[in-house]
């Protein structure tokens, strides 16, 4: 597999957005990179794909700007570029939550590394003995493909619904340690800050999200596949692209692939086996998607 797929973000105050957009466009065009970059006053969020040499050149160029020097991209590989074009867009937020009081560029909530999370999941509690709760902050069509075993899933239609969902269910978390997670870390970072502002104690964000967890561990306690916002649709716990979609379903996913960095409901009808189900399914093969029943199974 010769194509490197990058996912990266950084909450940092940005003021020169129009100029920065042009610089990003020019550099990506020069390197023939495809994907989506979102720029907002609160930071940058990007999904890009290209050859190893050109991707590395872009990250090297990006790190020359002190505002982006700390960006640590997440990588996966594919045989082809899963984007049709390059888009660099200016937004109000790099991930829409509509909670103006939440300002991640001003400071982060505590982050939990992948190895510590895996150890806590094996223990069933944190190092202080508090019960551990995994909280999925992604949308329902994402969680239908895969999730951490036993995670709380509010089946969100969009991330803007998270504040209301957590407010209605706050009592669930009393006396427990909460680890919020998402695909690459951006949503769970805002979610953790919001919960902290609500007065909830012992709240963490999963550093680097699901993709980093799968990269840094053997994927224990993860069930199914991880939805990604490009034409691959999902990757397995080894970060390998899943088998191609049937021809009739490929076009629908492209609209979301081009909007990769701004998650929203895809215009694709996911295969029937990915839809939530309360009934066990037949044994699935290596190339099949997980079902909700399989995701609810707990254990290593």
Domains and CATH numbers, the chain: 3-90 (3.30.70.100), 96-227+270-300 (3.40.250.10)
Backbone angles phi, psi at 6, to 5 degrees: -105, 140
- C-alpha neighbours within 13 Å on the C-beta side of residue 244: 9
- Using one digit for the tens of pLDDT, what is the confidence trace for 158-186? 999 999 999 999 999 999 999 999 999 99
Residue 278 confidence (pLDDT): 27
CB 179 within 8 A of CB 206: yes
Q: Choose between 179 and 258: higher pLDDT.
A: 179
Give buried/exposed letters for 89-121 (b at 16+ CB in 10 A, else e): eebebbbbbeeeebebbeeebebbebebbbebb
Write out the catalytic residue numbers: 182
The DSSP bridge partners found for residue 133 are 178
CA–CA distance, 252 with 299 (Å, rounded to integer): 35
pTM of the model: 0.77
Average pLDDT estimate for 237-241: 91
């Amino acid at each position: 597999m010769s194509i490197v797929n990058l996912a990266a973000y950084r909450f940092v105050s940005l003021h020169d957005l129009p100029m920065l957009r042009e610089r990003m466009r020019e550099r990506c065009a020069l390197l023939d990179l495809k994907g989506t970059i979102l720029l907002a006053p609160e930071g940058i969020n990007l999904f890009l794909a290209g050859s190893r040499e050109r991707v590395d050149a872009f990250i090297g160029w990006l790190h020359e700007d002190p505002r982006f020097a700390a960006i640590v991209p997440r990588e996966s590989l594919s045989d082809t570029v899963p984007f049709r074009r390059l888009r660099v867009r200016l937004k109000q937020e790099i991930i829409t939550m509509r909670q103006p009081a939440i300002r991640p560029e001003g400071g982060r909530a505590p982050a939990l590394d992948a190895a510590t999370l895996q150890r806590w999941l094996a223990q069933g509690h944190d190092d202080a003995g508090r019960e551990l709760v995994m909280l999925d902050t992604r949308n329902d069509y994402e969680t239908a493909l895969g999730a951490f075993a036993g995670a709380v899933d509010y089946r969100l239609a969009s991330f803007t619904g998270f504040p209301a969902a957590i407010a209605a269910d706050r009592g669930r978390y009393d006396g427990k340690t909460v680890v919020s997670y998402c695909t690459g870390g951006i949503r769970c970072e805002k979610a953790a800050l919001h919960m902290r502002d609500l007065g909830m104690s012992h709240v963490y964000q999963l550093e680097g999200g699901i993709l980093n967890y799968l990269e840094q561990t053997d994927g224990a306690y993860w069930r199914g596949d991880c939805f990604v916002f490009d034409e691959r649709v999902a990757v397995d716990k080894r970060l390998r692209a899943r088998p191609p979609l049937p021809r009739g379903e490929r076009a629908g996913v492209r609209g979301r692939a081009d909007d990769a960095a701004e998650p929203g409901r895809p215009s694709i009808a996911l295969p029937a086996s990915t839809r939530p189900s309360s009934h066990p399914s037949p044994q699935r093969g290596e190339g099949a998607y997980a079902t909700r029943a399989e995701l609810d199974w707990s254990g290593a």
